[in-house]
Amino acid sequence: MKRKRVCITGGAGFIGSHLAERLLDDNEVVVYDNLHRNAIQFAHLDNHPNLTFIKGDVMDADATRRAIDGCHIVIHCAAIAGVYSVDRNAVTTMEVNMLGTNQVVRAALAARVERFVEFSTSEVYGPFIHKGKEDDLTTIGPVGENRWVYAASKLASEHLSFAHYKEDGLPLVIVRPFNVYGPRQVGDGAIRGMILQALQNAEITLYNDGTQIRAWCYIDDFVDGILRCTEVPEAIGHAFNVGNPQGTVTNFELANMIIRLTNTKSGIVFKPHPGPEVDLRVPSIEKAQTMLGYKPTTSLETGIRQTIPWYQEHMAGLPRWDRVIG
């Protein structure tokens, strides 16, 4: 993609900052973010001539319209995310992820954008999904369990945006990310937490027996998938799983890999999970491969090897870890 003006809501976060970095040399990029999680400070993009930073919140309709006005493409990353962040802020999660998305969609329609890429979540598949496909049934846990507030808010946003696609012609592509990791992840994340614990020779905490299974996707591969969503004409009107099934591992195996690669003295401790847990989450990416030409190439070990040095360099400036999630 070249010579486009792209607005990335939540563009100062982990994924958003990597998208901005990839796009900036050939495009104008508007980063619209409230700096709740400021990962872009580590990307050293401050003086890039193609970057415009606007501090703002997607709940502010007027500011959101101004940020998106004149843009060709919107990549909507902004959300309250992370299991423990959601648990502490359930009301805000519902408001930002549903009502905030509504503001962004309406601003995109007013600006007549060429493409609107909306981030959903793999959480919409519920606690047990293997080779899950985009047209599989979505599953939400019981009302009252905060674990599922995030999934419910994202699924509702998918339905809202898809209604705008059908009724108003919103050029919509929905992305369901599966366990993305890599440098500059400053929010909740199991690999982030385990690496930080290992670098401090602290005990690595796993929940239950550590046999929960995840498929991990390195950030560079994930960004490649997102950029394909912005460019392929046939993607409009579709949802895509973006992840890497070949990065599938148990949490116990993951912890031992990180112990080996960091050469730490850390051991592993097991604790009961404080709430409902996801035992298995592995995507099918066949649709993204077929329609988008998406092909993740970074192995889990290679990705972790590339991630560890970043945390070694920046550990002192990061918020202190307090939990590891799966």
Positions marked active-site: 150
Structure tokens at 302: 């290679």
| 289: Cβ contacts below 8 Å, ≥ 6 apart | 295
Task: Judge contact between 146 and 275, C-beta under 8 A.
Answer: yes
Task: Judge contact between 107 and 259, C-beta under 8 A.
Answer: no
Task: Judge contact between 326 and 214, C-beta under 8 A.
Answer: yes
Structure tokens at 61: 């309709």
Q: d(Cα 134, Cα 136) in Å, to the nearest integer?
A: 6
How far apart are the two ends of the chain, measured CA to CA in Å? 34
126: left (phi over 0), alpha (psi -120 to 50) or beta: left
Q: d(Cα 19, Cα 22) in Å, to the nearest integer?
A: 5
| 29: Cβ contacts below 8 Å, ≥ 6 apart | 5, 6, 7, 8, 11, 20, 23, 50, 51, 52
Q: d(Cα 57, Cα 35) in Å, to the nearest integer?
A: 9
- DSSP-assigned states of every residue in 5-73: EEEEETTTSHHHHHHHHHHTTTSEEEEEE--SS--GGGTT-TT-TTEEEEE--TT-HHHHHHHHTT-SE
